[in-house]
A and B are shown apart, each in its own frame.
Chain A
Amino acid sequence: MRTLAGVEDEDKWLAEGIAGIQHNAFFMHRALDANNLREVLKYSALMLSELRTSKLSPQKYYDLYMRAFDQLRQLEIFFKDESRHGLPVVDLYELVQHAGNILPRMYLLCTVGSVYIKSKQAPSKDVLKDLVEMCRGVQHPIRGLFLRSYLAQVSRDKLPEIGSDYEGDANTVMDAVEFVLQNFTEMNKLWVRIQHQGPGTVREKQEKERNELRDLVGKNLHVLGQIEGVDLEMYKETVLPRVLEQVVNCKDKLAQYYLMECIIQVFPDEYHLQTLETLLAACTQLMPTVDTKIVLTQLMDRLSNYAASSPDVLHEFLQVEAFAKLSNAIGKVIDTQLEMPIVGAMTLFVSLLTFTLRVHPDRLDYVDQVLGACVVKLSSVPKLEDARAMKQVVALLSAPLEKYSDIVTALTLSNYPRVMDHLDDGTNKVMAMLIIQSIMKTDSCISTADKVEVLFELIKGLIKDLDETNAEELDEEDFQEEQNSVARLIHMLDNEEPEEMLKIICVVRRHLMTGGPRRLPFTVPPLVFSAVRLVRQLESQGGDIAGEDSATPRKIFQILNQTIEVLTSVPCPELALRLYLQCAEAASDCDLEPVAYEFFTQAFMLYEEEIADSKAQVTAIHLIVGTLQRINVFGVENRDTLTHKATGYSARLLKKPDQCRAVYACSHLFWVDDPDGIKDGERVLLCLRRALRIANAAQQMASATRGSSGPVTLFVEILNKYIYFFEKGNPHITPSDIQSLIELINNEMQSDNGNTTIHSDPFFTSTLRYIKFIKQKGGLMGEKYDPIKL
C-alpha cells in the first residue's frame, strides 16, 4: 500500500511511470508500423502495467492514466483495421485475454471490446455485459475506478439506446441502463472503499483525494441522464430506485452527499417532481453527518425554477402534492438529525418558504404552515443565540415581504408574529425596520384596524422597550431614524370609511402610548395629523348624525385632547402647544366653538406653566396669535378673552423688542382681511400705539446704557403696520398719524447721526420710496397719501 509519501516522491514516481509508458509506447508504435500484432500486444501490455502502481495520489494517477489513454486511442485504430493485424475481431477479443496481468488485460479487453461492438458482429449488450462483469477482477480502489472510467468512456457512444446504431430488441434501453447502473454501482463501492485503507492519521488527506475522484463516479449518472429512451416510467421503476439504493446503503457521507447532488442536477425537473416521494424518502435516510439541508435546498431550487419556467406545470405540482411532501420530508430530516444546529433547520425553512412563495404564492396557508413549523422548532431551543440562525430567521421573515407587493398579505400570516417573538431585541428591531421599509417601498396602504393591530404587534420592537432590563442605549441618530420610520408608517394607515379610520387611530394610539417619553415626540405628531385629516374629511362630507359608534369630530377631538396631554408630561410643551393649536384650528373649521376654546385654553396653560425659555416663548406667542387670527368661530365674549390673553402675554415678554413685535402682531387679531372678518380699527390702533410706547421705552433704555439711541428698526416696522392698515381702510389710521411717525423716525435718526439729515436706514428708505411711488401713481390710493409730506 501507499505509504505516507511526500509530494516530491510522488512527482518522482509519476515521472518514472510516464517514462515507462513512453518507453513502451515507442516500441509499441514501432510494432504498429510493422503490423506486428504479437509485438503490439506485448508492448501495449507492458505500457499498461505502469498503471498498476500503488504509489500515486488520484490526481497524479489521473495524469498517468491520460498518457496511457492517448496511446490506447492509437491502439484502437490498429485493432479496427483487420487488414493490418490479420485477425477477425472476435479472435482478437479472445487473444487479448491471454495478457498476464489483469489490469493490462482489462484495458486491452475494453479497447478491443469497443472495436467489437462497432463491428456489429456481436450485440452491444452482450459485449458490454461481458466487460462490466470482468472488470470486477480489479478491486484495488484507484486502479478499479480508472479502469471502469475507461470502460464508461469507450462505451459511451456504443450503448444500445434508442436511435443508436447498436439499438437492439424491445428491451434495448433496459440493457443500456443495466450496464451503466452496474458500472456505477461497482465504481461507487470502489470509491467508498478508499476510506477504509490506511491508518486514521491520513483520513483528512484521504478525504481530499476521494473528492478528486468523485467525478469519475458521478459521470455514470450523467450518462444515465442522457440515455435515449429512459422515459419517466423507466426512471421511476428502475433507474432511481437502483441509484438511491446504492446511495443510501453505501453508508458513506461523502458519497451520499455528492451523489444526491448529481441526481438532482442530472435528471429532468419533471422526473424529480413525479418521483418526489421516493427522492425525499432517500433524503431522510441519509447519514446524519450528511449536509442534507444543502441537498434539499438544491432540489427545491431546481423545482421552483421549473415551476417558474411555465404556468402549465403548476398542475403537476398540485397533482403530486409537492408542497406537502417537501414539508413532511423537511420535518422528518429536522426531527431525525437531533444534532442539526438551529441554523441548519432555519436554512431548510428558508428554502422551503422560497419554494412555496415561488410555486404557490396564492396559497397563504402553505406559507403560514412553513412559518408555523419554524415556530415549533424555535420553541424547542431555550434561546436563539446563534447569529447565523438569527440571520436565517430574518431571511425567512423577509421573503413574504419581498414576494407580496401588497404588504397586507403578509400581515394575514398568523404565525408571522410568532416567529418574530423568537428574535432578540436587536434583531427584532432590524426586522421591524425591514417591514416598514417594505411598506414604504411598495406604497402599500394599511386600511383596517385589525391589520394595523397585527402590524403594530410585528413592529413592537420599535414601538416600546421590549426588555426592561436592557440598559443598552441606542445611538441617538439611529434611534431617531427608527422613530422617524414609525412616523412615516403612521401616514400610510388610511381608510375612506370614517368609522374604520377612527378604529385605526385608536389602535395606533393605544400602541404608541406604550412607547415612553423618548418615542412620543416622534410618534404623536403623525397620529394627531391623521386624526385631524379625518376630522376634515368628516366635515367635508357633511357628517351624518349616526349612532353611538359613528365617528364624529367631537369624539375625535376628545381623543386628541387626551393624546396631546401626554406630551405635556414627557415633557414636550412646545410640541404639545403646536398640536393644540392645530386642533383648535380644525375645531374651528368644524364650527365647534367650545372645543376650539378648550384647545386654546390648553395652549395658554402650557405657555404659562411649562414654557420658560424666552425664545421659546416668543415662538409660542406668535404661533398662538397666528392661529387665533385665522379662526373665526368665536363669539364676542370668548374672542375678547383670548385676544386679551394674547396681547397681555405679548406685552410681558422678557425683552422690549420681542414685546414690541408681539404686540404689533396682535393688531391683526382685530382686523381680518376677508369680507366677513372682524374690522375693529380702534383696537388695531391701540395695539400699534402700545407698540410705539414699547419701542420708545426700548430706545430710551438703549440711550441710557450706550449714550446713544439704538437703531430705528422697530419704529420702521411699526410704520409699515400703520401703512398696511391705512391702505386696508382702517378709518382710525390717519395721514397725520403716519406723518407724525415719519417725523419721529427722522428725529431719532438725526439725534443718532449728529446734525446730518441723511436717511441711512435702508428699510426706512425703501418705505419712504414706496409712499412716493404711490403718490406719484395717483389714483384713489394716491389721493389718500396726498396730505403726507416727505
Chain B
Amino acid sequence: MEKTKLKIILLGDSGVGKTSLLKRYNDKDFKQLHNSTIYVDLVTKEICIAERQVILQIWDTAGQERFKSLPSRFYRDTDCCVLVYDVNTLKTFESIDNWHDEFIKQANPETPTKFPFVLMGNKTDVNNGKPRVVAKEIADQWCGSKGNIVYFETSAKAKINVEEAFLEIAKKALTNERQIDDMERYRSVVPTIEKETPRSRCSC
C-alpha cells in the first residue's frame, strides 16, 4: 500500500516553543532549549490514521528574526499550517495574525478560507503564580473569526495535548491532501515528446 506524504509547517514567534513541541511529539525527552531555531528543521514521522499509512513531514521554522527570510517556495505544497504562540506572552498571540496572513500570501492556496490551520497555545504549564496572559476565550474568538480554526492548549514541558494536537493536524492534512495528482501537475507543463538528454558539460 502506498504511503501518503503530508507536509506540515510550524509558524510562530521566536521563543514560543515550536521546536520543543516537535521534539516532544517525536518521542524525545523534553530538553530546555537555550536558543532559537536556526533556519529550518525537518522531522519525519510515520503514523497510521484510519488504517492508512501516513508520513508526516513537519517543518520547524525560525521565529520572528527570520520572518522575511523564508523563500516562498518553502510554504508551497503545505497540507496543514500550524500557528504557535505562548499563552504567557501577549505579543506572540498578536503576531499570529501576521503569520496567518503571511502564509496565505506566500502559499497562495486555491481556497484560502478553507485551508486547514491549527492554532496551538503553548507553555500552559508556566504559571509562577501569575494568571496567564492570553485567555482561552480570546484564542477561541480568533479561531472563530478565521473560519473555525481548531485550537489546542499545549505544554511541551508537561506533555499536555501534544499527541492530540498533532493527530488532529495529521487528520486535517490528510483531508486536505491535494486532489490533483502529482502526475497531473507535471503533465501540464512538460511537453509530451521526450527530449534528448543534453550532453554533459562536466566530466565529474
- Expressed in whole angstroms, the minimum distance between the Cβ of A493 and any Cβ of chain B is 42
Partner of A66, one of B35, B71, B194, B195: B71
Contact sample, A vs B, 16 pairs, CB 8 Å cutoff: A22-B186, A23-B195, A26-B190, A29-B183, A29-B186, A49-B200, A66-B73, A66-B74, A73-B57, A77-B5, A100-B200, A157-B26, A157-B44, A216-B39, A222-B41, A228-B29
A93-111 interface (Cβ within 8 A of B): 100-103
Contacts of B43 in A (CB 8 A): 156-157
Question: Of A29, A77, A101, A102, which contacts B182 at CB under 8 A?
Answer: A29
A476 on the B face (CB < 8 A):
no
B128 at the interface (CB under 8 A from A): no
Q: Report the Cα distance A338→B31, complex, angstroms.
A: 43
- A101 contacts B204, CB within 8 Å? yes
- Chain B residue at minimum C-beta to C-beta distance from A162: B29
Whole-angstrom distance between the Cβ of A544 and the nearest chain B Cβ: 55
Is the pair A46, B202 in contact by a Cβ cutoff of 8 Å?
no
Assembly CA distance A63 to B57 (angstroms):
18
| Closest B residue, CB atoms, query A218 | B38
**Seed contacts A29-B182, A77-B55, A221-B38; 16 additional CB < 8 Å A-B pairs:** A23-B190, A25-B186, A27-B194, A29-B186, A30-B183, A33-B183, A63-B71, A73-B5, A74-B5, A103-B204, A215-B38, A218-B39, A219-B39, A228-B28, A262-B38, A265-B36
Within 8 A of A (CB), among B42-74: 42-44, 55, 57, 71, 73-74
Q: Which of A56-74 contact B (CB under 8 A)?
A: 59, 62-63, 66-67, 70, 73-74
What mask results when residues 66 to 89 of chain B are scored 1 for a CB within 8 Å of chain A, else 0?
000001011001000000000000
Asked, given contacts A67-B73, A77-B3, whether A102 binds B204 with beta carbons under 8 Å apart, the answer is yes
* 1/0 contact string of B89-108 vs chain A (CB within 8 Å): 00000000000000000000
Report chain A residues within 8 Å CB of B41.
156, 219, 222
Distance, CA A228 to CA B200, complexed state (A): 44
Shortest Cβ gap from A382 to chain B (Å): 41
Whether the Cβ atoms of A62 and B38 lie closer than 8 Å is no
| Residues of B participating in the A interface, judged by any CB pair closer than 8 Å | 3, 5, 26, 28-29, 31, 34-39, 41-44, 55, 57, 71, 73-74, 77, 182-183, 186-187, 189-190, 194-195, 197, 200, 202, 204
* Interface range on chain A (Cβ under 8 Å from partner): 35 or more
The 6 closest A-B pairs by CB, nearest first: A26-B186, A215-B39, A265-B35, A222-B38, A26-B190, A66-B73
Output the least CB separation between A147 and chain B (Å): 13
Closest to B39 in A: A215
Chain B, Cβ-Cβ closest to A59 = B71
Cα A103 to Cα B31 in complex, Å, equals 36
Q: Nearest chain-A residue to B35 (Cβ)? A: A265
CB-based A-B contact count at 8 angstroms: 82
A63 and B37 contact, CB distance less than 8 A: no
Dominant secondary structure at the B interface: loop
Judge whether A163 is part of the interface by a CB distance below 8 angstroms. Answer: yes
Min CB distance A108 to B, Å, is: 15
Query: Chain A's nearest CB lies how many Å from the CB of B173?
Result: 15
Binding site for B on A (CB under 8 A): 19, 22-23, 25-27, 29-30, 33, 46, 49, 52, 59, 62-63, 66-67, 70, 73-74, 77, 81, 100-103, 153, 156-157, 163, 215-216, 218-219, 221-222, 225-226, 228, 262, 265-269
The answer to whether A46 and B197 have CB atoms under 8 Å apart is: yes
Known interface pairs A101-B202, A267-B34; A153-B42 also in contact (CB < 8 Å): yes
Whole-angstrom distance between the Cβ of B59 and the nearest chain A Cβ: 11
Residue on B nearest A76 in the bound complex, by CB:
B44
B163 to chain A minimum Cβ distance, whole angstroms, is 18
Given contacts A29-B182, A63-B73, A101-B200, contact A268 B34 (CB under 8 A): yes
Shortest Cβ distance from B80 into chain A, in angstroms?
16
Q: A22-B189, A153-B42 are in contact. Are A62 and B71 (CB under 8 A)?
A: yes
- Chain B residues near A67: list those with CB within 8 A: 73
Q: Distance (Å) between the CB of A151 and the closest chain B CB? A: 13
Per the bound structure, the CA–CA distance linking A70 and B6 in Å amounts to: 11
Complex interface: chain B residues within 8 A of A267 (CB): 34
Measured in the bound complex, the distance between the Cα atoms of B200 and A593 in whole Å is 117
With CB as the reference atom, state the residue of chain B lying closest to A53: B201
Residues on A with C-beta less than 8 A from B194 are 27
Collect the chain A residues with CB atoms within 8 Å of residue B200's CB.
49, 100-101
> Which residues on the A side are within 8 Å of B37 (C-beta)?
222
Name the B residues within 8 Å of A23 (CB-CB): 190, 195
